[in-house]
Amino acid sequence: MTLRKKRLHASALLVALVGLLLITAGCDNPVRTRAQPVDDPTPSDNWPDDVTWTHVWGDEFDYQGALNGSKWTFETGGGGWGNQELQYYTDRRENTRVDGDHLIIEARRESYGGNQYTSARINSAASWTYGRFEIRARLPEGLGTWPALWMLASQDTYGDAYWPDNGEIDIMEHVGYDPGIVHATVHTEAYNHADGTEVGASKQVPDATDAFNVYAIEWTPDEIRAYVNGEQYFSFANERQVSSSATYEEWPFDKPFHLLMNIAVGGTWGGAQGVNPDAFPATMAIDYVRVYQPESLVND
């Protein structure tokens, strides 16, 4: 979920390299099952055996009222956001509030700023290179909702367009017309939805809109992996480590990224089967956001 700007053709060879990976990751059974304590995550296979995870940032949303402005910023506006979306993002309490236990992001049916709906899109004020990113959330329900928990580059480093040159990591995306399925995806210059070459996987989460589930990614110099409740179901390898011809177009994930959370309304994916106006207001509840990094990185 991002602005769509530039489209370049991916190398056929590189697409073939990830083909086998997609066949495996696309099934509902996780590629690898690993016990993943929420409060004290253990290292994955790609980190050194003696890695110590350090909690470096987060928000437990154990306060009331306005969102903590030292940790989060708002993006506001309408205009479709590059995906023909119907909402106007605001920084109003009607669309974003903390109730003492959870952050509530609420999409509402109302005329505002020339749009038919309002919602919120928030960014973390901090950014990181590598780590484990966990968000425990209950997703909105209703035809036309399109919530996302994701990451974008904090700097325009690569290529001549911010997106997709600098990459995108989708920790979780969900569309209201397919309520029991969540998706994890990466976008790069070589692999992106504008060209139909994006790399990702889907997983059944039958209670996604009824219960809280933990959505997470682990991002290492070698690989990006996605999890639901500790079960891995997607991985994306760094081709630059195995191919001398690979560049940032395949792997731009070596610079700081920040977190984003939002509910879009309609759009090219969320509205592909229409929008039910009676489904609104629709809310996403976030129990916590937690960011961990290996102690070795924290101490560098």
Determine the pLDDT at residue 17: 39
Determine the pLDDT at residue 25: 37
250/245 Cα distance (integer angstroms): 10
Q: Would you say residue 3 lies in a domain?
A: no
Domain count, the chain: 1
254/275 Cα distance (integer angstroms): 38
Active-site residue flag, 223: no
Q: Would you say residue 35 lies in a domain?
A: yes
Q: Would you say residue 172 lies in a domain?
A: yes
- Contact 3/163 with Cβ under 8 angstroms? yes
Question: Annotated catalytic residue: which of 106, 173, 189, 198?
Answer: 173
| pLDDT, tens digit (0-9, with 9 covering 90-100), for 246-266 | 999 999 999 999 999 999 999
The phi and psi torsions of 21 (rounded to 5 degrees) equal: -60, -45
CATH of the domain at 205: 2.60.120.200
| pLDDT, tens digit (0-9, with 9 covering 90-100), for 187-238 | 999 999 999 999 999 999 999 999 999 999 999 999 999 999 999 999 999 9
Q: Would you say residue 7 lies in a domain?
A: no
The phi and psi torsions of 254 (rounded to 5 degrees) equal: -130, 20
Q: What is the mean pLDDT of residues 172-176?
A: 98
Q: Would you say residue 139 lies in a domain?
A: yes
What is the domain extent for residue 184? 12-298
- What's the pLDDT band for 71 if we cut at 50, 70, 90? very high
Determine the pLDDT at residue 213: 98
Q: Would you say residue 1 lies in a domain?
A: no
Active-site residue flag, 168: yes
Q: Would you say residue 5 lies in a domain?
A: no
- What's the pLDDT band for 29 if we cut at 50, 70, 90? very low
209/142 Cα distance (integer angstroms): 9
Question: Annotated catalytic residue: which of 134, 168, 189, 249?
Answer: 168
Q: Would you say residue 4 lies in a domain?
A: no
